[in-house]
A = this chain, B = another copy of it.
C-alpha cells in the first residue's frame, strides 16, 4: 500500500523540479516584467478571494454531509476539496510565471522551439499536479480509512438516520464530491472571469475602437490575460482532476456494491478490482512523467504539433504496455471475475480501458475535424462572413449541432463493446482509460493559455511582430489540443455516468435485503411515468444551467463594456497612448462578477437532485440523472465545437487565408461576433457541464437511501 505513494510523491518532486527549471529562465526587459507582475497579482488576488468563498461553502457542505452520513465522509470530502484547489493553485502559479518567459524566449531566440519548451514546462506543472494530487488524495483517503476495506467493515451499514451505505464507497464518494464541487466553483468562476473580460475586450476593442487584441490601450486587456490563467489554467486543472477522480470512483463504487450485494463472495477479487483502476491510473501517471521528462530534456524542434503529439503518443503507448503487464499481475488467478461480467478473463478490464483510450483519441480527433481550419467545416464557416454576421452565427450553430452525432456514435460503440468485454465494470474502466494519461493531456491543455498570455505580453510590451507571430503559432496548436482535452472530459463523464447510474440503483438496497440475482436491482424503467417525468425535467437542467452561465458572462461583460467606454471617453489620452488606462478597475469588475456568479450554478448542481429526491423519490431522481446526462453531453459537445469553430474561423481570416479579406473589414467584424458568441459557450458553459453531470450523480448516490425514507409524495 505505502509503496503506491511513491509514484505521486515522485510526481510532486518532478513538479518542484520543473517549476525550478522554469524560474531559472530569463524574464525579459522591465516592461515585460511589469506587465507579467500585474497579471500575476490579478490572478493571485482573484484566486485568494475565490478560494475563501469556495472554502466557506466547502466547510458548510462538509458539515451537512458529515452529519447526514458519517464523519469520515466529510473528512474525505475536505481532502478532495484541498487536492482540487491545490492542483489549480500550483498550476496557475506556474502559468503566470511561464507566460513572460515564453515571450522572452521567443524574443531572444526568434524561434519556436525554445518558446515551446518553456510553455510546455509551465504546462507540465499543471498536468503533473492534476495527475499526482488526484491519486495522492485517493491513496491518502484509502490509507487513513484502510480499515473500511477489511472484510468485517466491508458491508452495508446503517447510520443513526437509518441510511444504508458501504463505508468505503461512501468515503470515496465524499472525496470525489469534494473534488467536483471545487471544480465547479473554479470552472464557473474562472470561466465567467475570463470570458467577461474577453468578450468586452473584443466587443469594444476590436469592433468599436478597432484596435488589435491585447493592445495596451484597451483597459480590459490585463483582465483578459488574468482570465486566461484563472479560467483556462486553474479552472481546467480542477475540472480534469474532477473527471479523473470521478471515473476512478465510478469503478470502485460499482465493484464494492457488486461484491457486497452478491453475498460477499470472493473478497480477494473485490479488493483487487477496487485497487485495479488506481493501479491503472498510477501506471498512466508514470508514463506521463516519462513522456514529460523526455520532452523537457530532448532538443525541441520548431514543429509544436509534432512535439505535442509525440508526448501524447509516448504517454499512451507506455500506459497501454505498462498496464498490460500490470493487469496480468493484478487480476490473474482471481476467482469470481465472471460475476463482474469479465468475458475474456482478467484482461477484459484492460481491453475496456484501452478501448476507452482509443475512443478518447477518436472523439478528440473529431473535435479537431470540426473546429480546426485545416478541415472543411471551419473553413466553410469562415467563408460565410461574406454573407454577413447572421450567416456566420447560423452556420456556427449548425456546425455545432451536427458535430454531436459522430462523437455519440463513438460513445455508443465504446459502451456496447466495453460492456461486452467486462460488463458495467468495463464501461467504467473505459472512462479511466480515457483519462489515464491526464497529466500529459492537461500539460498540453494549459500550454495553450500560457502561449496566449505570452502573446498578450509581447503585444503590450510592444515587442517585434515576429515574437507575436511565434506565440500565435503556439497558441493555435494549443486550441486544437484543447479541443481534445474537452473531448476526454465529456466522453469520460458519459461513460462514468452509466456505472454511477448502476451504483445509484444499488445504493437503494437495505442491509438485510437478500438479493438472489443482482441484475434485478439494476432496473431503472424509463417507461415508468415518474422516471420519464424526471428525465424530462433532468434534460432541461443543463439548458437552465447553461442559460444562467451565459447570462452571468453577459452581465459581467456588459459592466466591463460600460467601464471601457467610460475610460476611453473620460481619458482621451488612452487612445493615442499618452495616458495609461485604469487596468485595475477592469480586473475588479471581472473578479467581482465571477465571485458573485459562481455560486448559483454550483448550488443548482447540488440542490436539484436533493429537492427532487425528497419530493418525488428515487425513481424520479433516476430519471433526472438520465435526462441530465443525455442532454448535458449533447450541449457540451455542441457548445465546445461551435465555439471552437467560430474562434478558428476568425483566426483563419486573420491569418490572411481568405483571399481579399483582412483584419478590420466588415467580414472580419462578422467573424469577431461569431468568436464573441462562442466565447462563453466553449470556455464557460461546455466545460462545466461534465461537472454538473457528475455532481448530480454523486449527490444522488450518497443520498438515495434518504430519499427512500423521507420522500414527500
| Interface residue ranges, A against B (CB under 8 Å) | 199, 202-203, 207-208, 384, 387-391, 393-395, 397-405, 407-409, 411-413, 415-416, 418-419, 424, 427, 494, 498, 501-502, 505, 522-527, 529-537, 539-541, 543-544, 546-548, 550-551, 553-554, 557-558, 561, 616, 622, 626-627, 630-631, 633-634, 637-638, 672-673, 676-677, 680-681
Query: A394 and B535: CB pair below 8 A?
Result: no
Query: B505 and A527: CB pair below 8 A?
Result: yes
Query: B394 and A393: CB pair below 8 A?
Result: no
Contact A630-B539, Cβ < 8 Å, known A389-B673, A402-B547: yes
Query: A540 and B415: CB pair below 8 A?
Result: no
B-side contacts of A544, CB under 8 Å: 401-402, 404-405
**Contact with A390, one of B199, B395, B404 (Cβ below 8 angstroms):** B199
Closest to A208 in B: B388
Query: B416 and A561: CB pair below 8 A?
Result: no
Closest to A541 in B: B405
Query: A540 and B416: CB pair below 8 A?
Result: no
| A462 to B: closest C-beta gap in Å | 28
Closest to A407 in B: B540
**Contact with A402, one of B389, B407, B551 (Cβ below 8 angstroms):** B551
Query: B526 and A526: CB pair below 8 A?
Result: yes
Give Cα A384–Cα B534 distance, bound, in whole angstroms. 34
| A202 to B: closest C-beta gap in Å | 7
Query: A412 and B543: CB pair below 8 A?
Result: no
B-side contacts of A546, CB under 8 Å: 398, 401
Query: B550 and A397: CB pair below 8 A?
Result: yes
**Interface residue SS majority, chain A:** helix
B-side contacts of A553, CB under 8 Å: 394
B-side contacts of A418, CB under 8 Å: 529
User: Which of A527, A557, A680 lies at the interface centre, i.e. has the most chain B CB atoms within 10 A of its CB?
Assistant: A527
B-side contacts of A522, CB under 8 Å: 525, 527
Query: B203 and A391: CB pair below 8 A?
Result: yes
Q: Which 8 A-B pairs have the closest CB atoms?
A: A401-B547, A402-B547, A390-B676, A419-B529, A408-B540, A398-B550, A415-B533, A405-B544
User: Which of A208, A390, A427, A681 lies at the interface centre, i.e. has the most chain B CB atoms within 10 A of its CB?
Assistant: A390
| A572 to B: closest C-beta gap in Å | 22
Closest to A420 in B: B529
B-side contacts of A419, CB under 8 Å: 529-530
Give Cα A207–Cα B666 distance, bound, in whole angstroms. 12
Contact A547-B400, Cβ < 8 Å, known A501-B526, A557-B391: yes
B-side contacts of A561, CB under 8 Å: 387-388, 391
Give Cα A536–Cα B388 distance, bound, in whole angstroms. 35
B-side contacts of A394, CB under 8 Å: 199, 550, 553-554, 676-677, 680
Give Cα A531–Cα B335 distance, bound, in whole angstroms. 29
Closest to A390 in B: B676
**Contact with A536, one of B402, B505, B633 (Cβ below 8 angstroms):** B633
**Contact with A498, one of B532, B551, B627, B638 (Cβ below 8 angstroms):** B532
Give Cα A419–Cα B677 distance, bound, in whole angstroms. 42
Query: B404 and A543: CB pair below 8 A?
Result: yes
B-side contacts of A554, CB under 8 Å: 384, 391, 394-395, 398
Contact A203-B388, Cβ < 8 Å, known A393-B393, A405-B543, A522-B527: yes
Contact A523-B527, Cβ < 8 Å, known A408-B539, A633-B539: yes
